[in-house]
Chain A
Amino acid sequence: MNKNNVVTLNPWENLKSFTDARIALGRAGTSIPTNALLKFQLEHAQARDAVQLPLDCEAIYLQLKNELSACPQAPELFAAERPLILSSLANDRGTYLQRPDLGRMLNKVSVECLKNEKNEYDLAICIVDGLSSRAIEKNVSPFLIKLFGFMKDESNYTFAPITLVQQGRVAIGDDVAQQLGAKAVMVLIGERPGLISPDSMGMYLTHGAKVGCHDAMRNCVSNIRPAGLSYKEAASKAVYLLRESRRLGFSGVNLKERTEQTHVVEVEEINFLTQQ
C-alpha cells in the first residue's frame, strides 16, 4: 500500500525552516506517522546512550595533550606524572543519577591522588562527565584550543594540572580546587541531554572555590556545541568571566556577563499568523 494513501501530510512543511520543533509531522488517523515515530525513538535512544556512556578519560587526556601541545600553557596543564583521572563518591551511574550529593565529592583515592600536585595555582581546569560524555568527547578540545588562543597574551596565570572526573556534578570542581590549592576552577561538564542536543557542554567558573560553595557563586556558559553556542563565542565569554572574576575577586550572580550580543536577527522575524 502506498503510504501516502494513509498518512495525511501537513501542507505547512515549509515552516520547518523556522524552527527545530517537530511541526508538520503529518498523521495516521490522528496519531504520529511511522517515520516520525521511529525517528523520535532513535533520537531518544541516542540521548539515553549519551547519559549512560562512560567517559574515556585516558583517551581524552591523550587527545588534549596532543592537540594542546602548541599552547604555552601545555607544560603546566600536563605537568602531572600520570593523568589525573578522578572519581566522585558515586560508584556507578545508578547511584550518580539518584545521589547528587555523592557526585559533588571526590572519593578517597582521588583525594590521595591530588596530594602530590598541591601547590598555589590561579586556575584549575576540571573536566567532568556530567550527564553526557559525548559532550566532553566532542567539545572539550576545540573549546580549550579557542580559550587558550584568546589567552595567549596572558602569561600571568598559573595553571594546575588538568583533571578529569567520572560521575561528577558541577560542585565537584570545588573539591578539586581545594585539594589542588587553586584559587579558581573552570568546570567543563556534559549537560542534561536534549533530544536534538545530546552533546551539549557547559562551563562553570567559580572564583574562590572550596567545598560548600553555593551555585549563586558560579558563572555559567551553557549549550556549548557546534549547533548551539560556538566555541569562539563560548571561549570569549569564558575569558571575559576569568578576567573579571579575577579583577573583582568574586564570581557568580553579582558578576554580570556583559559580552552578550543582543539577539542578532539575520532574517526578519515575523508573526506570519497576523502580519503579511
Chain B
Amino acid sequence: MSEYRYTLGQEIFKFKNLADLMAKATPARSGDQLAGVAAQTEKQRAVAQICLADIPLKRFLNEVLVPYEEDEITRLIIDEHSQDSFQSISHLTIGDFRNFLLSDECTKDVLSGIRQGLTPEMVAAVSKIMRNQDLILVANKCEVVTKFRNTIGLKGHFSTRLQPNHPTDNMTGIAASILDGLLYANGDAVIGINPATDNVQQCTVLLKMIDEVIQHYNIPTQSCVLTHVTNTLECIENGAPVDLVFQSIGGTQATNDSFGFNLTTLKEAHQAALELKRGSVGNNVMYFETGQGSSLSANAHHGLDQQTCEVRAYAVARKFNPLLVNTVVGFIGPEYLYDGKQIIRAGLEDHFCGKLLGLPMGCDVCYTNHAEADQNDMDNLLTLLASAGCTFVMGIPGSDDIMLNYQTTSFHDALYIRKLLGLRAAPEFEVWLENMKIMNHDFKLSASIPDSFSKNLIGM
C-alpha cells in the first residue's frame, strides 16, 4: 500500500493509499462525509482526480482495496478476472481509459469484449473522473440483453417493474394496483411486490396470486416477491411458483453478512430457481437490488467510499446472470445522498458502472421526504437515465409507495419517457399490449377498459 503524492505550486497533497485516493476523487456526497473519507476541499478533490487519472488499470489487479483473505467478494473479483479480455486495455491509465471509452473505436462489441477484463474498482475509478454526459454517452453504447418470459434490454426498449405494494398485503388492494399498472402498459420487467412482512406463508400467497394473474391473462412477464433469499428458498421447497429470486446485495462480505447471506446462499438459490425451468424465452432468474450507502450503514465499508462499495456489489450480481439489477438510488436517505443533485449523479454512476460490467441495470428513481429532492429532480434523472439506455425503472400508482413511504416513478412517468424518446416495452409484452387493446403502436392508450379485464370488474 503506497502513498500517493501530488505537488501543486507550493502545496503537497498526500493520499494514504489507493482507497483514500478513490474516496477523495469522488464527487461530493453526504455519505462519504459521514464516513469521514470525503475530500476536505474542492481543490483536494480536483487534485485527487488528477492523480487517479494517472493510475494504470493494472494497479487495481495488484492492489486490492479490501483484503483478499478477509473478503469473498475480493476473491470473486480477482479469481474471475479474465486476462484475455483485459489484454487490449492493459496498457491504459484511468485517464486514458476514459478517453478510450468515449472514442469512436469503442463500440458496443468492443465494450462487451472487455467486460470480463474489468474489475469493479477500475470501473468505479473511471466513473469518478467522468462528467454526467460521459456516463450517459458510454452507458448508451452498452447493450445487455436478458430473458425469462420476455426479452429485456434491447436497444430502443425501456421496461418497468410494476410495484403494487400495499401496507397490509391486502389482496384486493394489490390486485387494484396491478390492474392500474397493466392498463397503463407497465410491468414488462417484472410484477414485483415488496411484502409487508417476511412471513413465508404470506409470500407464498402473494407468489400464487401474481402467478395466477400472469397465467389468466397470458402476460409475457415474470413475478417476484421481494423477500429474503432464504425465504424464497423455503417458498421453492414448499412448491410455490417462484419466477425470480430476489436479494439486496452489498459490495463487501461484511455488508452481506449483515444482510444475512453469502455467495454460497445465492448459489444455492440460483440453482434452485434454475431447476424450476419456469422461463419461456430464457433463464435469467435473479433480481438484485443495490444502493450506495448500504455498506457504511452496516458499518462494513472498510474505509472505502460508498460508490466504490456499490460497484463491488455488481461483481456479486454479475456472477449469477440476473434478469434485472436495480439501484434504489434515493431510498436510503439524505445522510448518504443529500439532495437531488447527489441523487442524480449517483443514479447515473450506478447505471454506467453496472452496464459497463455487463449488468441489466435499472434504477429506482426515487427520494424520501427528508431528502432535498422533489418530483422535478426525478423527472431530470428519469430523462437522463432513459437517454443513457437504462434498462428499466419502477412503475407505481401516482409515484407514491404507500407501504415503503417513499416516492418513485409512476405508471404515467414511464409513458412520458416512452413517448418522448420513442422507447418501446419488451417486444413480447408490446405484442400483448396491442392484442389486449391496452396500448397501440403509437403509444396511445385505449380510452375504455379492454373486454378481457372489464368482465372481472363487474360487481367490484
Contacts and interface: CB of A to CB of B under 8 A. Distances in A.
A23 interface: yes
A36 B398 CA distance: 8
Contacts of A32: 398, 410, 412
Most chain B Cβ neighbours within 10 Å, of A23, A24, A27, A192 = A23
B180 A23 contact: yes
Interface residues of B, number: 62
B34 A194 contact: no
A271 B396 CA distance: 18
B370 A193 contact: yes
B48 to A, nearest CB: 21
A273 B183 contact: no
A257 to B, nearest CB: 13
B172 interface: yes
B447 A8 contact: yes
A4 interface: no
A197 B167 CA distance: 12
Contacts, number: 170
B44 interface: no
Q: Is the interface of A mostly helix, strand, loop or mixed?
A: loop
B58 to A, nearest CB: 37
B246 interface: no
Interface in A19-78: 19-25, 27, 29-32, 36, 40-41, 44, 47-48, 50-51
B172 A271 contact: yes
Contacts of B457: 12, 15, 272
A15 B176 contact: yes
B370 A192 contact: yes
Best-buried of A12, A27, A41, A197 by chain B (most CB within 10 Å): A12
Interface in B180-198: 180, 183-184
Contact of A22 (B30, B333, B400, B449): B400
B179 A12 contact: yes
B412 A31 contact: yes
Contacts of B179: 12, 15, 23, 273
B419 interface: yes
B251 interface: no
A48 B369 contact: yes
Contact of A194 (B168, B171, B375, B402): B402
Nearest to B180: A23
A97 B335 contact: yes
A18 B405 contact: no
A263 B34 CA distance: 40
B341 to A, nearest CB: 14
Nearest to B404: A194
A14 B179 CA distance: 13
B30 A98 contact: yes
Given A21-B164, A99-B34, A271 B209 contact: yes
Contacts of A18: 170, 172-173, 175-176
Interface of A: 8, 10-12, 14-16, 18-25, 27, 29-32, 36, 40-41, 44, 47-48, 50-51, 97-101, 131, 192-198, 263, 267, 269-274, 276
Given A30-B445, A272-B456, A273-B216, 11 more contacts: A15-B460, A19-B166, A19-B402, A22-B398, A22-B399, A23-B179, A30-B419, A32-B412, A41-B375, A192-B369, A272-B457
